[in-house]
């Protein structure tokens, strides 16, 4: 729904939720319905320097895609409204002096799989949700079991691909996880791209780039930690821009610490990704689905059960800290992960 700057005032701002390199997000409430929402705009630093045109193009592309696909997008935060490019200084209480687009979306339930980098500098345990719910689900969710995050992220990519779009940048910061029902909500789909063939200037871009992200951020490449402190640090955040470098590092880790048959399956898939050998997403799923079954079996028979589950629950308990209260999250939801007897 397109709205004017005047109509934007119905969404009462309540404070900043977070910021990234490209954008800034605020918690707000829809005065007409009482519903919690999120208000987003390009980052003020870019706006004041008149350097936000690239962000505006991505916003326009996402709005167009959302309007075309409608409610067919699973696990995506719904867009409630957006404005045309205009000056919104009065609404935000600043004086940026430039025109930009504002988008209003439903507010996701749960917590981000990885908190903001700024919060990490402040020593908050920003990597715990990614580690305990996605990468190392030592204790399964009571109903959805293990590795539901990887399955849901793949479903998002498949839906976009069927709609003619390639979704990338599905990093954990862009995904919220609700522990009560183990469901995800993607809060940023700005990584929409078009597939391309390789040429003299650029490498190819296709679903294999997404498969790399899936393995980098949501699949384990080592044993689960035996100390809760090791769960605090997010995984895969290091900057390695080259497609082959990322894959070579993953292949090396599985080769150095083999654990048959899990590593054999992982190596086969990673090598196919590197060779860009999957003709369709369905072909990738035919390998990935049995791979997840092997992975689940591995986590079900962990040899150091008592030590590993204790570390996992100790990390889970860190989610009761005040830091997580600013999100739509109730620590009581953590009861969906019962203590296991070993």
Question: What is the number of other CB atoms lying within 10 angstroms of the CB of residue 233?
Answer: 16
pLDDT tens readout for residues 99-148 = 999 999 999 999 999 988 888 888 899 999 999 999 999 999 989 999 99
DSSP 35: -
Q: Is 279 helix (H, G, I), strand (E, B) or coil?
A: coil
pTM of the predicted protein model: 0.90
Q: At what angle do helices 148-162 and 207-218 cross, to 10 degrees?
A: 160
- Which residue ranges form the domains of the chain, and what is each CATH number? 7-106 (3.30.200.20), 111-319 (1.10.510)
How far apart, in whole angstroms, are the C-alpha atoms of residue 221 and residue 246? Answer: 12
pLDDT of residue 112: 94
How far apart, in whole angstroms, are the C-alpha atoms of residue 92 and residue 97? Answer: 12
Q: What Rg value do the Cα atoms of the chain yield, rounded?
A: 21
Positions of the chain with pLDDT lower than 70, given as ranges: 71, 239-241, 257-260, 303-304, 339-342
pLDDT of residue 189: 86
Burial class (CB in 10 A: 0-12, 13-18, 19+), 315: buried
Which candidate, 48, 50, 49, 52, places its Cα nearest to that of 22? 52
């Amino acid at each position: 729904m397109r709205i004017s700057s005047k109509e934007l005032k119905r969404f009462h701002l309540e404070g900043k939720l977070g910021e990234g390199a490209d954008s800034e997000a605020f918690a707000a409430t829809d005065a007409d319905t009482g519903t919690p929402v999120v208000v987003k705009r390009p980052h003020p630093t870019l706006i004041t320097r008149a350097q936000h045109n690239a962000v505006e193009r991505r916003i326009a592309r996402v709005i167009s895609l959302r309007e075309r696909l409608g409610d067919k997008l699973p696990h995506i935060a719904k867009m409630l409204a957006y404005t045309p490019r205009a000056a919104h200084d009065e609404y935000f209480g600043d004086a940026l002096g430039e025109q930009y687009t504002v988008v209003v979306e439903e507010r996701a339930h749960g917590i981000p799989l990885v908190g903001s980098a700024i919060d990490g500098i402040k020593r908050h345990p920003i990597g715990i949700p990614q580690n305990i719910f996605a990468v190392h689900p030592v204790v399964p969710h009571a109903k959805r079991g293990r590795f539901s995050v990887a399955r849901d992220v793949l479903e998002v990519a498949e839906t976009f691909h069927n709609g003619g779009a390639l979704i990338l940048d599905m990093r954990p910061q862009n995904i919220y996880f609700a522990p009560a029902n183990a469901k995800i909500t993607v809060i940023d789909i700005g990584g929409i791209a078009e597939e391309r063939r390789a040429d003299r200037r650029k490498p190819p871009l296709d679903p294999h780039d997404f498969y790399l992200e899936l393995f980098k951020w949501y699949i384990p490449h080592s044993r689960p930690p035996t100390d809760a402190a090791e769960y605090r640090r997010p995984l895969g955040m290091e900057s390695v821009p080259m497609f082959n470098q990322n894959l070579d590092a993953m292949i090396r880790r599985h080769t150095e610490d083999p654990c048959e048959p899990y590593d054999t399956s992982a190596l086969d898939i990673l090598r196919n990704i590197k060779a860009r050998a999957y003709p369709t997403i369905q072909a990738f799923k035919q390998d990935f689905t049995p791979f997840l079954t092997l992975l689940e079996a591995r986590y079900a028979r962990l040899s150091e059960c008592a030590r590993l589950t204790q570390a996992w629950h100790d990390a889970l308990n860190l989610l009761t800290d005040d830091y997580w209260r600013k999100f739509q999250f109730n620590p009581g939801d953590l009861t969906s992960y019962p203590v296991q007897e070993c």
